[in-house]
Amino acid sequence: MELGLTKEVTTDFEDTITKVTEELKKEGFGIITTIDFKNTIREKLDKDFRKFTILGACNPQFSYDAVRIDDRIGLLLPCNVVVQEKQGKIEVSIFNPALIKFLVADEKLIEMSEQLVERITKVLSNL
């Protein structure tokens, strides 16, 4: 099973971040963190890196419900979305919630993860 659900897109880097944010919002997610990995590496290590941004996406209702079931699920929050320039192309990867079934035994959390996979798949298909 893949760590993330991934799609290569034809939009430029900045437009892709905007489009991903819009599509996530349609599925109930908001962006609560943005990490410009390229700039962080430049500032902290004085090294160059390709365009690489990590968006921390959160669906408040799913997050709230999941943490109420098992507060350790907070270790997986927020759901990371990576937008990166890779060999001249733009790629979007979103953490694959289907992996949760390998980490928890609670049936409700597994059911929720399946619903999240559907939403994330929809986001990627709309890019």
Q: What is residue 46's predicted lDDT score, i.e. its pLDDT? A: 98
pTM: 0.95
Per-residue pLDDT tens over the stretch 8-50: 999 999 999 999 999 999 999 999 999 999 999 999 999 999 9
**Around Cβ 1, how many Cβ atoms within 10 Å?**
7
| 3 state DSSP class of 10 | coil
Cα within 13 Å of Cα(5), Cβ side? 18
Per-residue pLDDT tens over the stretch 55-97: 999 999 999 999 999 999 999 999 999 999 999 999 999 999 9
Q: What is residue 81's predicted lDDT score, i.e. its pLDDT? A: 98
Per-residue pLDDT tens over the stretch 86-127: 999 999 999 999 999 999 999 999 999 999 999 999 999 999
CA–CA separation, 100 vs 87, rounded Å?
31
Q: What is residue 26's predicted lDDT score, i.e. its pLDDT? A: 98
Under 8 Å between Cβ of 20 and 55: yes
113, 115, 121, 123: CA torsion to nearest 10: -110
| Chain centre distance of CA 78 | 8
**Around Cβ 84, how many Cβ atoms within 10 Å?**
19
Of the candidates 91, 90, 97, which has an alpha carbon nearest to the alpha carbon of residue 58? 97
> CATH homologous superfamily for 4-125?
TT1751-like domain (3.30.310.70)
CA–CA separation, 39 vs 41, rounded Å?
5
Q: What is residue 54's predicted lDDT score, i.e. its pLDDT? A: 98
Q: What is residue 96's predicted lDDT score, i.e. its pLDDT? A: 97
